[in-house]
Amino acid sequence: MKTNYIKRTQKDYSLSFKLQVVQEIEQGELTRSQAALKYGIQAKSTIRTWLQKYGNFDWQNQTSQAMPKTPEQKILELEEKIKLLEKQKARAEHLAERADKKAILFDMMIDLAEKEFNIPIRKNSKPK
């Protein structure tokens, strides 16, 4: 007996691919369904999971329909938004601090290499 059953294959996506999809959705370039169609992602929950895991927004608390809100709901929503913004700010500060430390480390490495090998590595950017 012949069936028309097609075995579904599980795809493994690279971290860079997942981050790219999340970034495109968060920047408003694509919706979740558009991203699934564009990249051939079969499961609806796959992109939602990536957004929760790698995204900067609070995707768990989003609703699909806009409903009239009571003042209490609006206050709660604004408080959640404040918490989310504080979380994003803390992440941005952490990344900025990390970038500063990297820059200092790279400067130290260049200084050490220049001293050790007695060669100039940095460009002289003196005005003429």
Q: Using an 8 Å Cβ cutoff, are 47 and 25 in contact?
A: yes
Answer yes or no: is 17 within a domain: yes
Answer yes or no: is 68 within a domain: no
Q: Fill in the amino acid letter for 118.
A: N
Question: How large is the angle between the packed helices 32-39 and 44-54, nearest 10 degrees?
Answer: 110
**Residue 2 φ/ψ, nearest 5 degrees:** -100, 135
Q: What percent of the chain has pLDDT over 90?
A: 38
Give me the mean pLDDT over the 73-100 stretch: 94
Closest CA to 21 of 39, 42, 37: 39
Q: What is the pLDDT of residue 66?
A: 53
87-108 pLDDT, tens digit per residue, is: 999 999 999 999 999 999 999 9
13-69 pLDDT, tens digit per residue, is: 898 899 999 999 888 888 888 999 999 888 778 988 898 888 887 655 555 555 677
Element (H, E) at 54: helix 44-54
Answer yes or no: is 70 within a domain: no
Q: What is the pLDDT of residue 111?
A: 93
Tell me, rounded to whole angstroms, the distance of Cα 24 from its chain centroid: 9
Q: Using an 8 Å Cβ cutoff, are 122 and 114 in contact?
A: yes
Q: What is the pLDDT of residue 7?
A: 55
Higher pLDDT pick, 3 / 13: 13
**How far are the Cα atoms of 46, 82, 119 from residue 88, in angstroms, in the given order?**
23, 10, 42
Answer yes or no: is 117 within a domain: no
Answer yes or no: is 49 within a domain: yes
Q: What is the pLDDT of residue 9?
A: 62
Q: What is the pLDDT of residue 124?
A: 74
Range of the domain at 50: 12-57
**How far are the Cα atoms of 34, 37, 62, 86, 99 from residue 41, in angstroms, in the given order?**
10, 7, 21, 32, 34
Answer yes or no: is 110 within a domain: no
Q: What is the pLDDT of residue 10?
A: 65
Answer yes or no: is 124 within a domain: no
Q: How far apart are CA 34 and CA 3, in angstroms?
A: 31
Q: How many structural domains is the chain composed of? A: 1
